[in-house]
Amino acid sequence: MSVRNNVIAVVAISFIVVGGLWAYGNLSKEGERQKEEGALSVEGILLVAQRSTFNGTNPEIRVSVNVPKKLVVVNEDAVTHDLQIKDSAGGILNVNTAPLKGGQHFNAAIVAYKPGTYEYFCSFHPGMRGKIVAEN
Ligand SMILES: [Cu+2]
């Protein structure tokens, strides 16, 4: 097997193992494509709670001010998680999935009203938090 084939095999396996990985595709390629085409469909982000992280890395989410992004939160752990976004200054739409048991999911949207850096987090686990960066 050539080195190139090995690399392709590793990439393919990574996609199968990390179910939430399509979110990265949406963040990069799909987002760019939709911007170029001016597509009407709403961009989406999938955050999968697994082993007490979101998508394994608590990825940074980038949004444009006043452009809603669909957010789907899935709990694939045995323990309960939630996802909250809170900003008392009103810079971003607050989100609270309420406690999700294993296997449950919640559909929401990320809508930033002002540029800035916000946070999404699980109220049960201090390590489960990531940034939301909103730009004009
Ligand atoms: Cu949690």
* Model confidence pLDDT, tens digit, residues 12-48: 433 434 444 444 444 555 555 555 555 566 679 999 9
> Which residues have CB atoms below 5 A from the ion given as ligand 1?
81, 122, 124-125, 128
* Phi, psi values for residue 5, rounded to 5°: -60, -40
Nearest to 68, CA basis, from 126, 115, 111, 118: 111
- How far is ligand 1, taken at its centre, from the CA of residue 122, in Å? 5
- Going from the N-terminus, what domains does the chain have, and what CATH number goes with each? 20-135 (2.60.40.420)
- Look at residue 39 in the predicted model and tell me its pLDDT: 53
- How far is ligand 1, taken at its centre, from the CA of residue 4, in Å? 38
- How far is ligand 1, taken at its centre, from the CA of residue 80, in Å? 6
- Look at residue 43 in the predicted model and tell me its pLDDT: 76
CA distance 56 to 126: 15
Residue recorded with tokens 């709403």 = 42
Which parts of the chain are beta strand (E)? 44-50, 53-54, 61-64, 69-75, 84-85, 95-96, 105-110, 116-122, 125-135
